[in-house]
Amino acid sequence: MFYGWVVVAAIFTINFVMAGTAYYSYSIIFKDLVEDLGSSRAGVSLALPLTTIVSSALGPLVGREADRRSLRGIMLLGAVFVTVGFYCLSVVTELWQLLLVFGGPIAIGQALCGGIPTNALVTHWFERRRGTAIGISQVGVSMSGVVMVWVASWLVAEIGWRGLAQTFTWVPLVVIVPLVLGVIVEKPADRGLQIDGRTSDPEKTPSNPPATDPTSSSVTSLSLLRTHSIWIIAFAVGSNFAASGAVLQQLHVYLTDHGHSSVQAVSVLSVLTSAAVLGKLLAGLVSDAVGGQVTFRLLTAAEILGLSTLALADGLPWLWVGAVLFGVGFGGMLPLWSILIAAVFGPDKFGRAMGACGLLMIPFQFLGAPTAGYIFDTTGSYAGALILFLSFYLIAGVWIGRVRPEGPRLEPA
């Protein structure tokens, strides 16, 4: 078996750990944090958005170092920061300390062990099946949402939320560090292999293999911000994330407002989350076959159909249908973002391009859900938000066609 798939399995596990400990488990300890810290829900709600802002702001720096230095070293440093962060979390007593922990060591650890270095590893090992490999590695994020909420619930019931944080202190050291040191290899050449497992046999080697970009080392994140493609990808993917994030946050409230029980609403969310796993796999497979832009439009169409079905459906079966459609589209967007970046800028510039794009997408992190809440507060309905988000999807689907995915070439703005 080509060793690149072993690397993908290791990244799958790292994504599972990082998403499950720092993200999905937070909702389980949310009420305990509010009570123990004597804070408001609004205050405790700031922790995860703050983590996103800081890790995104660090993106250009992490991306530059990922393209120039050892990815294994970066990820090991990230594991140390996550360990320190969860230890500090276990002893916080006030809200400002909580925010400092999530905006400090945990955010830094997320940046160093997150999408930039892990996806950069995949781009080093795969080209023809890069989409499939990225999709499989990203399934770890969704699977963590299915599994870790139950694990976290059990741990909190047994040892409390501080005990949960103390337990998570050891997870990066026990899981991530051994994988990085013992399993992950940065490039095929380090094991005497070639990308995609190619051989010297001319029948198995592409007739026009991509050449290494001689200008790669001189490209900076600032120069990438002056290209058309980085802005188009940031707008298309960012607006999609904004709309999808708002739907995920408000869907339970919307369904219960329209007469559905909490159990029924949770079942719809569960179906949606499970469909997101399928979406990640499909995004990789389809993008390898037809390209990233066509895949983006197919996933966007699934989100439009799914959201429309969720808004118009009366019975629970149709709500499940809408959840499947929307979940497939939503789930596939995260790996597709990396696939698009790799297709346009190539593996040599991948880290810097991902960092620059993440920086541009920071405003979208807070565009969707607050806007939906404001529209409901002022009109008493989500109808305006529905029209707005459908417009986001349509515009993003059109604009993505302006991206040029034919290689690492940079077009001047």
Token code pair at residue 195: 């990308």
- Average pLDDT of adjacent 10-residue blocks, the chain of 413 residues: 90 90 79 83 77 85 84 92 94 91 93 87 87 87 79 87 92 92 89 78 42 52 78 88 77 77 77 86 87 89 91 86 91 87 83 84 74 76 82 86 54 37
pTM reported for the whole predicted model: 0.75
Domains, the chain, with CATH or none: 4-188 (1.20.1250.20), 219-402 (1.20.1250.20)
Q: Looking at residue 218, what is its pLDDT?
A: 56
> Residue 134 to residues 12, 228, 275: CA-CA distances in angstroms?
9, 24, 17
227 has which bridge partners?
A: 412
Round to whole Å and give the CA distance between 117 and 7.
Answer: 12
Query: For the chain, how are helix, strand and coil distributed in percent, rounded to 5?
Result: 80, 0, 20
